[in-house]
Each structure stands twice: as structure tokens, then as C-alpha cells.
């Protein structure tokens, strides 16, 4: 079990690695913020997409983000950089190469 530290935000805890999570879930605040940015979802739509989260949890996560935007933005940038690096370093699966070649045939 991961140990968490409560914050002054009712529904937010910080795990042992310093990452803010929605208490009682595995959802990181940065994940919720990334979805809000990517899809333009309102808190109500985030709740519809994640019915296991209450609106209170969602609003608390968004409030936490606005008070810690620099830190959360840095987390998101690091995650995206890691994904980009993994995509560059991972060889193309043989099936993808075969499908690509088959598509290019007349």
C-alpha cells in the first residue's frame, strides 16, 4: 500500500513520491488536468467520464491544480517527454511493417 499525506484540500493526498492523487482513487491530479485540456471537458463531463469520482473530488483536484499549476505542468511535460522517448526507442512491430508494406502495394 502506498503511503499518502493529506493536504489542505479535502479530497487530495500526496503520495510518497510527491505526486498529488485524488484520495480514495488511483487517479492523479495531472491525469484529470490532462483530460480537461485535451478534450475541453467541464467538471460535470469529467464526472460523467469518471463516475467513481464525486464532483467534490473533481473540483478539489482542479483547485489543487490551480494552486500548484507549475508543479503539475512540469509533471505533465516530463510524462510527455518520456512517452516521446519510448516511441522513438521502441522498434516498429513486425505486423505494422507488414501492414504498411501491404497498403503500399498496387
Work out whether the CA dihedral 8, 63, 4, 11 comes out positive or negative.
Answer: positive
pTM of the model: 0.76
Predicted local distance difference test score (pLDDT) of residue 4: 57
Is residue 31 within 8 Å of residue 39, measured between CB atoms? no
CATH number of the CATH domain containing 63 = 1.10.10.10
What is the number of domains present in the chain?
A: 1
Q: What is the mean pLDDT of each run of 10 residues along the chain (106 residues)?
A: 65 90 94 96 97 96 96 94 93 90 82
Q: And the C-alpha cell for 8? A: 489542505
78 CB-contact burial (10 Å; exposed 0-12 / middle 13-18 / buried 19+): exposed
Strand order in the sheet with 12-15: 4-6, 12-15, 20-22
Is residue 56 within 8 Å of residue 9, measured between CB atoms? no
Predicted local distance difference test score (pLDDT) of residue 7: 65
Expressed as residue numbers, the domain containing 88 is: 4-104
Is residue 25 within 8 Å of residue 32, measured between CB atoms? no
Amino acid at each position: 500500500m502506498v503511503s499518502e499525506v493529506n493536504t489542505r484540500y479535502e479530497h487530495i493526498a500526496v503520495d510518497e513520491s510527491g505526486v498529488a492523487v485524488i484520495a480514495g482513487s488511483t487517479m492523479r491530479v495531472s491525469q484529470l488536468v490532462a483530460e480537461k485540456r485535451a478534450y475541453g471537458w467541464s467538471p460535470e463531463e469529467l464526472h460523467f467520464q469518471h463516475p467513481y469520482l464525486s464532483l467534490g473530488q473533481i473540483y478539489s483536484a482542479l483547485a489543487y491544480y490551480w494552486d500548484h499549476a507549475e508543479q503539475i505542468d512540469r509533471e505533465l511535460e516530463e510524462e510527455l517527454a518520456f512517452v516521446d522517448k519510448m516511441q522513438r526507442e521502441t522498434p516498429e512491430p513486425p505486423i505494422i511493417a507488414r501492414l504498411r508494406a501491404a497498403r503500399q502495394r498496387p
